C-alpha cells in the first residue's frame, strides 16, 4: 500500500451504502485524525464518517498523551451513533478495542491482548490504543454522535521513529506487512459499528465484557500500577474487570489489603 489514494480505492468498494465509511476520508498525513473528524462534523458530517491517515504528526491518546504515529500504521477516527443511554457511552472504548482485535485477527495478525483502560498489547509491548469522545448532539441534524479513535502499530516500530515518546510501544507482526493496512482497515470498518451497536444493550454488553476479560491480563493476576485522577497510585495484582468497567486490583495487606476498584485512571508502565 503506497499512498492514501490507493488505500481509499481499496476500501471504497467494500463499504455498505449505509455503513461506516460514508463518507470516507483518507489522508497522507495530518496532525490528528480526531481533530480532522471533529472539524468535518462541524462542516456537516455525521455518524458514518471515517477519517484515516497514513501518518500523524500529533497523534494523541487519553489526557493529551502522545501516540507516536509513523507512516504505515493505521490511524482512524470514526463518527458513531452512541448507545441510546448516554450513561453507558463509555462502553464504546471497550467495543473499539474488541473491533480492533477482530480486525487484526481477520487480516492474519496475532491475537492481541487488552490492557485496561484503552491499550492493545502483544507481550510486554503496547501495539495499539483507543480514544473515545462522546459529543452529545453533534451531528448535522442534532443527533448524538461519538468519536472513536483507533491507532494500531502496523508499520515501523514507534520506538525507532521517536524513542523518547514511544514508551513501551512495539509493532504488530504480519507475514505480509505490505498487505496488512488495507486488510485491517477494511475489517475494522465492518467490525467497529457491529461492536458499538452490541454494547448498547445489556445482553450485548455482557458478551463484550466476557471477551474483554478473556483478553485482559488483569483477569489473570498480572502485576498492575494505576494512577487515579487525583494522582494517587494504586499497585497490586489484577483481580478482574467489574461490570461497570472498573479495574479491580488486589493490593498488599500492608497498604490496606483487599480489592480496590478503579473506575477512572491510567495504567503506569515500567
Q: Judge whether residue 257 has pLDDT over 70.
A: no
pLDDT category at 206 given cuts 50, 70, 90 is: very high
Higher pLDDT, 173 or 270: 173
Q: Is 256 helix (H, G, I), strand (E, B) or coil?
A: coil
Confidence grade of residue 63 (pLDDT, cut at 50, 70, 90): low
Segment 200-226 shows an average pLDDT of 92
Q: How confident is the model at residue 8 (pLDDT cuts 50, 70, 90)?
A: very high
What confidence score (pLDDT) does residue 81 get? 92
| Set of cell numbers at residue 174 | 504480519
Mean pLDDT for the stretch of residues 204-229: 91
Angstrom distance (rounded) from CA 82 to CA 146: 6
Task: Give residues with Cβ within 8 angstroms of 221, minimum separation 6.
Answer: 237, 238, 239, 250
Q: How many CB atoms lie within 10 A of CB 86?
A: 12
- Nearest residue to 192 (alpha-carbon basis) of 43, 26, 54, 52: 52
Q: Tell me the pLDDT band of 138, cut-offs 50, 70 and 90.
A: low
Residue pLDDT, tens place only, 119-132: 999 988 999 999 99
- pTM for this entry: 0.92
The answer to whether domain 4-215 and domain 217-267 are alike in fold is no
For residue 52, what pLDDT is reported? 97
Nearest-angstrom CA–CA distance, 226 and 115: 11
pLDDT tens column, 13-38:
889 888 999 999 999 999 899 999 99
Share of the chain above pLDDT 90, in %: 62
More confident residue, 253 or 83: 83
- What's the whole-number average pLDDT of the chain? 89
Q: What is the C-alpha separation between 15 and 185, in angstroms, rounded?
A: 11
Q: Which of 208, 228, 253, 200 lies closest to 84 in space, CA to CA?
A: 200
pLDDT at 256 over 60: no
Instruction: Look at the domain 217-267 and name its fold.
Output: SH3 type barrels. (2.30.30)
| pLDDT tens by residue, 141-157 | 678 899 999 999 998 88
Q: Any idea where the domains of the chain sit in the sequence?
A: 4-215, 217-267
Is a pLDDT exceeding 80 seen at residue 2?
A: no
Topology annotation, domain 4-215: BirA Bifunctional Protein; domain 2 (3.30.930)
pLDDT tens figures, 87-127: 999 999 999 999 999 999 999 999 999 999 899 999 889 99
* SS3 call for 119: strand
Instruction: Please compute the mean of the pLDDT values over residues 162-181 and round it to a whole number.
Output: 85
For helices 91-106 and 177-198, give the axis angle rounded to 10 degrees: 140
Measured CA angle at 76 (ends 207, 37), to 5 deg: 110
Amino acid at each position: 500500500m503506497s499512498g492514501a489514494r490507493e488505500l481509499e480505492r481499496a476500501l471504497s468498494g467494500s463499504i455498505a451504502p449505509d455503513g461506516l465509511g460514508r463518507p470516507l476520508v483518507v489522508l497522507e498525513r495530518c496532525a490528528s485524525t480526531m481533530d480532522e473528524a471533529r472539524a468535518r462534523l462541524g462542516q456537516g458530517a455525521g455518524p458514518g464518517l471515517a477519517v484515516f491517515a497514513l501518518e500523524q504528526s500529533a497523534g494523541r491518546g487519553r489526557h493529551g498523551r502522545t501516540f507516536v504515529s509513523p507512516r504505515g500504521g493505521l490511524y482512524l477516527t470514526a463518527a458513531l451513533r452512541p448507545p441510546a443511554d448516554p450513561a453507558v457511552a463509555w462502553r464504546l472504548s471497550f467495543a473499539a478495542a474488541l473491533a480492533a482485535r477482530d480486525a487484526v485477527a481477520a487480516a492474519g495478525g496475532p491475537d492481541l491482548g487488552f490492557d485496561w483502560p484503552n491499550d492493545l498489547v502483544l507481550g510486554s509491548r503496547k501495539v495499539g490504543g483507543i480514544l473515545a469522545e462522546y459529543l452529545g448532539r453533534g451531528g448535522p441534524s442534532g443527533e448524538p454522535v461519538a468519536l472513536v479513535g483507533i491507532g494500531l502499530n502496523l508499520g515501523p516500530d514507534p520506538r525507532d521513529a521517536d524513542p523518547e515518546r514511544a514508551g513501551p510501544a512495539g509493532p504488530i507482526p504480519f507475514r505480509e506487512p505490505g498487505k496488512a493496512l488495507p486488510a485491517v482497515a477494511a475489517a475494522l470498518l465492518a467490525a467497529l459499528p457491529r461492536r458499538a451497536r452490541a454494547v448498547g444493550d445489556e445482553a450485548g454488553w455482557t458478551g463484550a465484557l466476557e471477551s474483554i476479560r478473556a483478553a485482559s491480563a488483569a483477569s489473570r493476576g498480572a502485576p498492575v500500577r494505576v494512577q487515579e485522577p487525583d494522582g494517587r497510585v494504586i499497585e497490586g495484582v489484577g483481580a478482574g474487570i467489574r461490570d461497570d468497567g472498573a479495574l479491580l486490583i488486589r493490593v498488599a495487606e500492608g497498604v490496606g489489603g483487599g480489592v480496590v476498584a478503579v473506575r477512572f485512571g491510567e495504567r503506569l508502565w515500567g
